Amino acid sequence: MRISSGKIEGYILILMTLPLMVLGGALAFYGKEGALVFHGGLIALVTSYAIISIFRKMSEPAQNIPLEYNDGVIRAAVIMTGIWGFIGFFVGSVIAWQLAFPDLNIDLPWTNFARVRPVHTTSVIFGFGANALIATSFYIVQRTSRARLAGRFTPWMVLWGWNLFVILGVSGYPFGITQGREYAEPEWYADLIALFVWVAYLWVFLATLSRRAERHIYVANWYFLAFLIAFAMLHTFNNLAIPISLEYAKSYSLFSGVKDAMTQWWYGHNAVGFFLTASFVGMLYYFLPKAAGRPIYSYRLGIIGFWGLVFLYMWVGSHHLHYTALPDWVQVLGMSMSVILLIPSWAVVFNGFFTLNGAWHKLRVDPALRFMALAVCFYAISTLEGVFMAMKPVNALSHYTDWTIGHVHAGALGWVAFITFGSMYKLVPWVWHREGTYSKRLEAWHFWLALSGVLIYVGAMWNSGITQSLMWQTYNPDGQFAFAFIDTVDAMHPYYIARAFGGTLYLIGFCLGAYNLWLTIHPRTPIQMPDQQELKPLPTVNLNKATVKSPMSVKATETPTGPAE
Amino acid sequence: MSKLHQMIERNSLVMVLMITIVASIGGIIEIAPLFTIENTIEKVEGMRPYTPLELAGRDIYVREGCYACHSQMIRTLKTDVDRYGHYSLAAESMYDHPFQWGSKRTGPDLARVGLKYSDDWHVAHMKEPRRFVEGSIMPGYAFLADNDLDLDRAPLSLKALRMAGDPYTDKMIAEAKQDILRQADPELEGEDDLEERYGEKVQIRDFDGQPKRVTEMDAIVAYLQMLGTLIDPKQVSDKIRAEEAAKSKALKGESQ
Ligand code: HEM
Ligand code: HEM
């Protein structure tokens, strides 16, 4: 039986999207809050647009699948990464200045720090981070499998569906729509969309793997798989909630108190572990060897690192709840597992460094590779730091203070964002078929601004965190506290200014980077070397199982396609 | 090892299965017992679900994201206890959907802030924090005093919470709107009803200094003023300790 491409896929997608459309319509119709009506309308609009365009595409005469990689969706994801990156870093800088100068809150409901802060965390993690992951994972899985991305519509549904989720989140917080749980703030209807998208994402990934022309699944893909599976579990279980009605966005978490806290931090730490770590390690395992021109150093370290990470991360959420009402044994277990977690974490670090070994000279001329090398350094630092903070005595000092914020941003700015920048400088020329980026000098400027930004940010937060904690704990000889709470707030002021300054440098660096890539994509002068691929008539093959053997794929697979043994 | 692993990495479904199993273990071992072991949360006298007004206040607390700057979890450390009072017990957040323990103390802990200040202080502080506390970096929330509280939400909220396991009765749900008015307006009849439903410690008064209206400020101050006031934590933890001592004594006796 021969079916024209994408019919089954299209119908399944439409069937899955229809309920969401109905839901959106219902929210828009019954909603009593302005923001909820807007959300409902937006959902209904986007889903109906999706359904209509799938129908239209399906009714076109059946086409053969082009024998090339599907890079269109990657290009769109790269653009979204840039947009969310700007929003996230900009809002991060705004809230940093708000903490330094509270009058900047303006005391309007939608401008004050606490409503804006989740806009920052959601934009950077789920906007910037996730779009970068969609772009790189789609790139990597195609190249390392030497197969075209599965699905005609699904990859696009994944991209736009996910961005719809992020928009629903970010546009809701300023109007008070939030679940009130860190990193899981979007309300139930947005969570449903995210779940739908995630299942689709997992399908695309597995289906692409299943048509691979390589026998082995490349190590980067293991990490992406773990990220996809783990986040599906975490997201579903942690967001179990009971909506109060269709008139209001509000829902109540199904769990309460201690159970809710443990579920939330099981989720929260693994948002860190799988969203900000495992998946970005996947990125590292492709782009670092490719940029350095050397194969991954050790296959064995890869295996140990991978399974260790997948196993251990899920245990350590309770180190966010030391000395609380959570039963003691869970705290101690979380602490112990956190210490062991250093082994798989540093397995990745060693693999990264030894892969670079022999390519150190390239660091001088290639800022992108420098970003990646520094990313490995910051990964090493923040995991080591995390292990210390997970120990109860240290946590007694660090918990509730800016030290945590310093740790977060050593990881976020230094590791997550650096590896992303490095990879983007490689990925953009590849998927837009350019010889290189517009300007290496701008890349270098970006690097130095970003590095100064992180160092200032993290340095300031270490100082302020430890200062504040010590001030909280200082007694006078008569047994009274030496400092009132507000004294400790005053003491933070200079550090908050420094942090905001560091963050602003980082933002400026990012803008230079974005400008550089924009000019790479849209050069001022017409491109000298026309892209050879597009000049040739595209060879085509018969439908579904299109395995790519185009000149591009040869070029793309110069890299190690399997771990070196 | 590598033979086995080669098998795994050649088959994506095996890999998916392995990842799922390996990643599930931690969560199952740590979280499942919290739902089954009875003593995760000790039964404590005095704990009761929130009144509709307090609940509305709590919803505002969540909506505004106060947890970004305030914790509600006094740790068992001496310095925490000396500054904020008896450490928090599990039972004290048993009706918190979601929990609001927080992870950052940009401002002080609020777990026992109830009755520490007057209502007027809270209202004025919420409106303009830096008028009272020089150097405060808390945002101002003057708009809460202008917003009328949405009463229609109350019964819906109580119903949803009952589905999540909180012991709200039909009567409580039916009276929810009226109970908000009763608590915020001492002139209204029916205080006894309110106390009958929610206990003696319910604080009944006009909280925001605008007796004619029930605003969001009423709700949030009512919530802040009840935080940590429901139980006597010292008594409770002494009792728990005594029980535990008795239990372990009994166990020792058996084993001898
Ligand atoms: C220009 C760069 C950035 C600036 C200026 C910035 C600033 C801030 C500020 C001021 C806060 C609130 C801290 C507090 O409550 O005391 C914050 C929180 C946070 N930021 Fe950033 N940020 C930046 C980039 C990033 C990036 C790239 C990520 C992640 C990929 C990130 C992730 C987070 C997270 C997870 C939190 C919450 C931390 C916690 O609750 O412990 N930030 N950021
Ligand atoms: C072995 C690795 C790591 C360990 C053991 C670890 C441990 C910890 C600990 C103990 C805390 C403080 C909890 C508290 O006192 O509230 C923390 C917070 C945090 N860590 Fe890590 N960490 C690790 C790696 C990372 C990495 C690579 C990132 C990447 C961005 C990261 C992001 C965060 C975030 C976002 C928080 C703040 C959570 C919150 O309170 O909102 N961690 N981590």
Q: What's the first-to-final CA gap in chain B, in angstroms?
A: 48
Say yes or no to pLDDT of A530 above 50. Answer: no
Q: Are residues A337 and A444 in the same domain?
A: no
Mean pLDDT of chain B: 90
Do A339 and A395 lie in one domain? The reply is no
pLDDT of A463 strictly over 60: yes
Bigger pLDDT: A89 vs A299 = A89
Tens of pLDDT, residues B46-77: 899 999 999 999 999 999 999 999 999 999 99
- Domain identity same for A426 and A547: yes
Domain-located, residue A415: yes
Rounded to whole angstroms, the Cα distance separating A418 from A280 reads 10
Question: Which residue would you say has higher pLDDT here, B162 or B239?
Answer: B162
| Peptide bond before residue B98 is cis, with ω within 30 degrees of 0 | yes
pLDDT class for B6, splitting at 50, 70, 90? confident
pLDDT at B137: 96
| pLDDT at position A373 | 96
Please tell me the predicted confidence (pLDDT) of residue A63.
66
Tokens read off for B176: 């929810």
ipTM rounded to 2 decimals: 0.92
Q: Tell me, yes or no, if the pTM score tops 0.90.
A: yes
pLDDT number for residue B191: 85
Token pair for residue A212? 């691979």
Strand A251-253, strand A241-243: pairing:
antiparallel
Please check whether residues A412 and A549 belong to one and the same domain.
Answer: yes
- Say if A213 falls within a structural domain: no
Mean pLDDT of the region A253-267: 93
Residues A113, A95: Cα–Cα separation, whole Å: 6
Asked whether residue A308 carries a pLDDT value surpassing 80, the answer given is: yes
Residue A336 domain-assigned (yes or no): yes
Place of tokens 């443990």: A262
Indicate left, alpha or beta for A479 from its phi (over 0: left) and psi (-120 to 50: alpha): left
In sequence order, what E strands does A412-540 have?
A: none
What pLDDT, on a 0 to 100 scale, did the predictor assign at position A71?
Answer: 93
Domains in chain A, number: 2
Q: How many CB pairs below 8 Å do chains A and B form together?
A: 257
| Whether residue A492 sits in one domain with residue A436 | yes
Q: What is the mean pLDDT of chain A?
A: 90
CB atoms < 10 A from the CB of A50, how many?
A: 21
pLDDT at B171: 95
What is the C-alpha to C-alpha distance for residues A277 and A270, in angstroms, rounded to an integer? 9
Whose alpha carbon is nearest atom 15 of ligand 1? Answer: B68
- A60 band by pLDDT with thresholds 50, 70 and 90: confident
Instruction: Give yes or no: residues A446 and A397 share one domain.
Output: yes
Minimum distance, in Å, between the CA of residue A181 and any CA atom of chain B: 7
Q: Is the confidence at residue A3, as pLDDT, over 90?
A: no
In a domain, A502, yes or no: yes
Query: What pLDDT shows up at residue B234?
Result: 82
Q: Which of A332-346, B116-130, B231-245 has the lowest mean pLDDT?
A: B231-245
A404 and A492 within one domain = yes
Range of the domain at A388: 382-524+543-560
Average pLDDT, stretch B100-104? 95
For chain A, what percent of residues have pLDDT higher than 70? 91
Query: Which residues is B197 bridged to in the sheet?
Result: none
A110-153 tens-digit pLDDT: 999 999 999 999 999 999 999 999 999 999 999 999 999 998 89
Asked if A397 and A516 sit in the same domain, the reply is yes
Residue A210 lies in a domain: no
Between CA B45 and CA B53, with CA B51 as vertex, the angle to 5 degrees is 150
Q: How many CB atoms lie within 10 A of CB A479?
A: 7
A312 occurs within a structural domain = yes
Q: What is the pLDDT of residues A364-404, one digit of tens each?
A: 999 999 999 999 999 999 999 999 999 999 999 999 999 99
CA dist., res. A28 & res. A43, Å (int):
9
Same domain, yes or no: A301 and A445: no
- pLDDT score for B132: 84
Q: Same domain, yes or no, for A409 and A329?
A: no
Q: How confident is the model at residue A227 (pLDDT cuts 50, 70, 90)?
A: very high
Q: How far apart are CA B96 and CA B91, in angstroms?
A: 10
Is the pLDDT score of A564 beyond 50?
no
User: Which residues in chain B have their CB less than 8 angstroms from residue A323's CB?
Assistant: 75-77, 80
3-state secondary structure of A251: strand
Residue of B103, B104, B106, B138 to test ligand 1 pocket, by largest number of atoms within 8 Å of CB: B104
A287 & A404 share domain: no
Clarify whether residues A430 and A490 are in a common domain: yes
pLDDT at B39: 54
| A431 touches A78 (CB < 8 A) | yes
Spell out which residues line ligand 1, taking CB within 6 angstroms: A 89, 92-93, 95-96, 99, 117, 120-121, 124-125, 129, 182, 404-405, 408-409, 412-413, 416-417, 503, 506-507; B 68, 103-104, 106
Please choose from A121, A424, A456 the residue to mutate so as to test ligand 1's pocket, defined by most ligand atoms within 8 A of CB. A121
In a domain, A83, yes or no: no
Asked if residue A14 is part of any domain, the answer here is no
Quote the pLDDT of residue A455: 97
Residue B129, Cβ density class (10 Å: 0-12 exposed, 13-18 middle, ≥19 buried): buried
